[in-house]
Amino acid sequence: MRAMIVGVHPLAGFDKLLHYRVPENLRASLAIGSLVRVPVLNALRLGLVGEIGAPRDFPLDRLKSVAQVVYPFPALTPDLLELARWMAGYYACGVDSIIETMIPAAVRQGAGLKQDKLLSVARRLTPEEWVALEKRAPQQARLYRLLEQQFRPQHKGLVLARLKQTAAVANALVARGVLREETRRVERIAYVDEHTAGELVAAHPHQLNAEQQVAVDTLATQLGTGKFVVSLLHGITGSGKTEVYLRAINDALKAGGGVVFLVPEVALTPQTVARLRSRLETMVHSVDAAHSAGSGPAGSHLRQSAGGGQGLARHTAGYGGQAGPAGAHRCVVWHSHLSDGERLDGWLALARGEARVVVGARSAIFAPVRNLRLIVVDEEHEPAYKQDETPRYHGRDVAVMRAKLCRAVCVLGSATPSLESFANAEAGKYRLLQLTQRIDARKLPYIDIVDLRIEAAKQRAMPALSGRLVSAMQERLERREQTILFINRRGYSSSMLCKKCGHVEGCAHCSIALTYHRSDETLRCHLCGGQRPAPVRCPKCGAPDIRWRGLGTQRVEEAVHRLLPRARVERMDTDTMAKKNRFREVLSKFRAGHIDVLVGTQMIGKGLDFPNVTLVGLVDADISMHVPDFRANERTFQLLVQVAGRAGRGDRAGLVIVQTFTPQAEAIQFSRHADFAGFAAAELKVRRDFHYPPYRHLIHHLFRGPNPEKLKFFAEQWAKLVEKTLGDRVELRGPSASPIEKIKDEYRWQLWYFTNAVTKVVPELARLRAGFAWADDITQVLDVDPVNLA
């Protein structure tokens, strides 16, 4: 028989395709995209099959053999493998690092399946046998009698614990053929518990308004063509974008397709999953109603697989088998806060075709969804879609490319679209769909601007909460309505200042001030994680005159407790949300009305829908505005509009109070009227004049090392080489020290490239980097289309 040769991408730290023979017993289960174990040097390493075929100019008799096929189905679909190759070229990173990003660690590390042992009666005893068993082995007789009374197999461990028996009792009856023991895989399904029970909203479709109907019809037509299309759904907050998504998902599933639904924050996942599962459960019941009997095997299987059941797990048959009709109605959750078991089982459900809908953060774009027909990117403007470590991909842009490779429909949704997406829509590359009215003709909240310069003069101090905001909170508390306070800075104070000598306590490893955390009396660095006890005297001069400058979530929370002692207050930031499922617990309590005031950072500033919230306070609108970033105005406008959109989503009118020292700023004035068109026109003119994105691509080159002088020298020499080689295709800015010059004991220099031909420039930069004589202690990182300029 002719030898089968495959090219494998080993996950071994080097980016090279190696070829192997395939033993005859493995050929049937191996395909492009299969995860395999192959010998590399003297060890077996994981790898992914990238091609089938012999290498050129290499003797076949010297090839080693594939040792194992890990799963009996491809770990990456063909479109994902092609996407990995595109990402390697566009983002200047290795294919192996992208494959490791695409396949969860639990899958690569071979995490075990959760299994249950079940007991049932295999053979009923005759009266004579029963009498003999009761006399000879009364414990076995008790176990047999209990199982005989059950209609379905019982968990072995639970039964033995109830009877206070050992496994030997059951094993003896199994050996005699009286009992049957079977092992079944238990699938761990994320977000099926009491914390999401309160999130089951919008289960039944409501009546669409005219604009929603146009959007739904347009997307249905696009899905019907089977062609690649990108639509930008620009809808104001509360305009019903989610309902448009759900209708499109319904259409994609009815056509037998798969769906990827991306959200920017883990905090948004529970609400999105609950809505999808509610709607999918409704679809299941409609399918059941179509069956004449209504309770046959198909109907019951659909209900079991909808993912909205009572428990956290369900039994399946293991790796093998094909998806039943319920596959369309399963919703898998995908993000970094899941356990290894939940990630493994979710991945298996998608890879086997048991589920065709996945909801999650940016990494969910790599889920192995079969027959992908629709990708939804909610809040597409969010910087959270950008990965801040290699591979430094942007989830939104990768979603567009994957849709192109699959000939699928990609929907980008936002109340405040990124200027890059909006410019593409204006240029005709994307189809623009607009929702300009809130559902049920609800009004946008009124935005009241508080000038903190005047407020500070009135109170003769720098207040955390203005008198206007405190008064509005008291009114909401009396009316049993809810309030959200937003400040995008955790901790108590942003820095420690000595009033006598002016010393500001900084991080010894990073060039930033330490943040004071009052909850445990520590100073912490939010870059490297270092911390130390907060001093009571100045570390430099010994004076007791220490002042804590700036605001954080802890200080705002303390102010609310002091001013509104009867209010039930909860804080949501990365300090309080470290515990698994804490997001869902707090949001569930807030929805149920057990929290009056929710204080938080960016995780509560977008996408969440709480009808009883009638007041939103933006404690410091200037935090995002005065930073060295050409996107600062855009980020501030988006933040103001998104946070304001959390108010007045029910039947009651909403009020938003914005505290700022610069009330005249364009971003604040445009946001008062939710005037995206006006803001976009003004901001795009500035970008066009200065040739900033979206009119040119931006590439950030970061250099890190322990010696600042050495770092500067190498950065300057590199810049000269690039200028000489690519000067006609790129415009260089720098090199210069980064705004944050040191992080984790490494100094940082940076260089910027502006170009109109990013797909041609990046490979050239990669080629030049490979041939440049870098010092061993210098690390350099290339970031294409960066969103953070620090």
pLDDT tens digits along 154-180: 888 888 988 899 999 999 999 989 999
Q: Which two tokens stand for residue 143?
A: 């176990």
Q: What is the predicted pLDDT for the residue at 324?
A: 41
| pLDDT above 70: percentage of residues in the chain | 85
Q: What is the predicted pLDDT for the residue at 275?
A: 77
Whether 103 shows a pLDDT value over 80: the answer reads yes
> DSSP per residue over 341-387, as a string?
HHHHHHHHHHHTTS--EEEESGGGGGS--TTEEEEEEETTT-GGGB-
What is d(CA 378, CA 380) in angstroms, rounded to the nearest whole number?
5
- Measured in whole angstroms, the distance separating CA 169 from the mean position of its chain's CA atoms is 48
Residue of 216 and 459 predicted with greater confidence: 216
What is d(CA 75, CA 556) in angstroms, rounded to the nearest whole number?
47
149 touches 124 (CB < 8 A):
no
Residue of 14 and 711 predicted with greater confidence: 711
Q: What is the pLDDT of residues 105-140, one digit of tens each?
A: 888 876 555 667 888 889 899 888 888 888 999 999
Q: Which amino acid is at 379?
A: E
β-sheet bridge partners, residue 117: 183
626 touches 632 (CB < 8 A):
yes
Task: Say if residue 554 is exposed, middle or buried (CB neighbours under 10 Å; 0-12, 13-18, 19+).
Answer: buried
Q: What is the predicted pLDDT for the residue at 529?
A: 82
Residue of 327 and 5 predicted with greater confidence: 5
User: What separation in angstroms does the CA of 770 have from each of 12, 622, 773?
Assistant: 19, 42, 8
Q: What is the pLDDT of residues 465-479, one digit of tens each?
A: 899 999 999 999 999
Residues 6+ apart with CB under 8 A from 216: 208, 244, 247, 248
Q: Average pLDDT for residues 227-241, to the nearest whole number? A: 93
Q: Average pLDDT for residues 616-640, to the nearest whole number? A: 87
What is d(CA 46, CA 70) in angstroms, rounded to the nearest whole number?
9
Q: What is the pLDDT of residues 402-420, one digit of tens each?
A: 999 999 999 999 999 999 9
Whether 328 shows a pLDDT value over 60: the answer reads no
What is d(CA 151, CA 100) in angstroms, rounded to the nearest whole number?
45
Q: Which two tokens stand for residue 638?
A: 């988006």
20 touches 64 (CB < 8 A):
yes
Nearest Cα residue to 560 out of 552, 572, 569:
569
| Least confident piece of the model among 67-81, 193-207, 528-542, 731-745 | 193-207
What is d(CA 366, CA 402) in angstroms, rounded to the nearest whole number?
9
Whether 442 shows a pLDDT value over 90: the answer reads no
User: What separation in angstroms does the CA of 335 have from each of 134, 351, 366, 486?
Assistant: 53, 16, 11, 24
- Cα torsion for 498, 500, 502, 506, to the nearest 10°? -30
Q: What is the predicted pLDDT for the residue at 325?
A: 41
Q: What is the pLDDT of residues 448-460, one digit of tens each?
A: 999 988 888 887 7
pLDDT band at 304 (very low <50, low <70, confident <90, very high): very low
Helix (H) or strand (E) holding 730: strand 730-743
Q: Which two tokens stand for residue 591?
A: 């929805």
What is d(CA 453, CA 622) in angstroms, rounded to the nearest whole number?
13
Strand 446-451, strand 569-572: pairing: unpaired
Q: What is the pLDDT of residues 251-280, one digit of tens each?
A: 999 999 999 999 987 666 667 777 787 777
Q: Average pLDDT for residues 236-258, to the nearest whole number? A: 92
Whether 228 shows a pLDDT value over 90: the answer reads yes
Q: What is the pLDDT of residues 642-698, one digit of tens each?
A: 888 877 766 677 899 999 989 999 999 999 888 999 999 999 999 999 999 999 999
Q: What is the predicted pLDDT for the residue at 295?
A: 39
Helices (H), 549-675: 553-563, 582-591, 632-644, 666-672
Q: What is the predicted pLDDT for the residue at 548?
A: 64
Cis peptide before 694 (omega within 30 of 0): yes
The single-letter DSSP state of residue 86 is H
- Measured in whole angstroms, the distance separating CA 116 from the mean position of its chain's CA atoms is 31
What is d(CA 767, CA 437) in angstroms, rounded to the nearest whole number?
51
Q: What is the predicted pLDDT for the residue at 252?
A: 95
